[in-house]
Amino acid sequence: MPPFVERGWYGQDKRWWPLLLILLPISALLFSIAVLRRAWLSRSACEIVEPPILVVGNISLGGTGKTPLLAAMVQLLRLKGWTPGVVSRGYGGQTTHYPLLVSSEVSAQQCGDEPRLLVDKTQVPLVVDPNRSRAVAYLLAHCHCDVVLSDDGLQHYALSRDIEIAVLDGQRGVGNGFLFPAGPLREPLTRLHQVDFPVVNVAGPLHASLNSLTEQLVEMRMEPMAFVHVATGARTALQDMPSEQLWQVYCGIGNPQRFFMTLAQQGICYEPHVFPDHYNYSPADFTEWAEDYILMTEKDAVKCRQFAGEHWYYLAVEAHLPPDFIDRLDALLLKVKAHKVIDR
């Protein structure tokens, strides 16, 4: 999406509001199609008796922090005694063979950057397939797991689900509240009242557009942990990196400004290089700065390991959630599992 359109969505450039108003009829048409599509697919969804299926997604375009949340949930569910598995569409992956079980031999270019990141970070069994129902069936047939997490599957209604989590950007909120293309929303705001847990990625005061949801929101905070060498995985503590170091920062994620804000909060000096979300890097993208100190997100780094230079690092971050969130989620999963056993 052109940057000027996003600036209009989020009120950063009011000059484009007339254009967004012109796009409202298209948004209304797409809304009608989405409602009919949801009703049809939900009715014909593939019913998988067990285990519980938990969908993590968002109702807006752009990055909200789904991948760090999924990684944190995998670890927290394990602490509660669950054995999770993940299915993903594998956006940006170039494989022609589905379903694809992501192993150490599968590259980010084949499976997509987010699945590669999740497997590297958590060693969770993960299957990539645009057909989520087929992915779940393959995962259950080849891996032991007693709960399935569907990555970015909130609008994939062909897959039945037991629990839904929607992730929101606390800084940008939901923008002007309009559906695409007049606004950033994939579904109406009322959809947030239907999910089990609306999770907000907080980095400061909540955006005013989220005020009506304050009592429901589960706050997630991202904490920078270390600088990690892209090629070797060696970790360097944040305080051990020279504070005067100038970094060339490469960023190809849905909301690069959030990453830049994190760097500023850490006092990191940098020159930004912004690329489209899920950008497939090549050595040519780094020719001018290959010998400099380069910093990127972990999502970018999984696509650069094969040609990373001596001073290439990514900033490792972790999602932190309230303790009562995983307790509530655990209780809901146990309830769902008990019902599934009775129904069977």
- Residues 90, 132, single domain; the answer is yes
Residue 342 has pLDDT above 70, yes or no: no
- Residues 249, 196, single domain; the answer is no
pLDDT of residue 297: 97
CA 120 to CA 138: how far, in whole Å?
20
pLDDT of residue 180: 84
Residue 183 has pLDDT above 80, yes or no: yes
- Residues 153, 255, single domain; the answer is no
- Residues 25, 110, single domain; the answer is yes
pLDDT of residue 110: 95
- Residues 202, 240, single domain; the answer is no
pTM: 0.89
- Contact between residue 309 and residue 323 where contact means Cβ atoms under 8 Å apart: no
Q: Which range is least confidently modeled, 10-19, 90-99, 114-123? A: 10-19
Residue 38 has pLDDT above 90, yes or no: no
The more confident residue out of 101 and 157 is 101
- Residues 241, 170, single domain; the answer is no
- Residues 239, 255, single domain; the answer is yes
Per-residue pLDDT tens over the stretch 258-273 = 999 999 999 999 999 9
Per-residue pLDDT tens over the stretch 190-239 = 888 899 999 999 987 888 888 877 778 999 999 999 999 999 999 999 99
- Contact between residue 249 and residue 272 where contact means Cβ atoms under 8 Å apart: yes
- Residues 164, 237, single domain; the answer is no
- Residues 104, 214, single domain; the answer is yes
- Residues 132, 7, single domain; the answer is yes
- Residues 195, 300, single domain; the answer is no
Tell me, what CATH number does 43's domain have? 3.40.50
- Strands (DSSP E) found in the chain: 53-57, 84-88, 100-101, 126-128, 147-151, 163-169, 197-202, 218-229, 235-237, 246-251, 269-274, 294-297, 312-320
Q: What is the mean pLDDT of the chain?
A: 88
Per-residue pLDDT tens over the stretch 301-314 = 999 999 999 999 99
How many domains is the chain partitioned into structurally?
2
pLDDT of residue 16: 57
- Residues 21, 154, single domain; the answer is yes
pLDDT of residue 298: 96
Domain that holds residue 56: 3-220+321-343
Residue 252 has φ and ψ, to the nearest 5°, of -125, 65
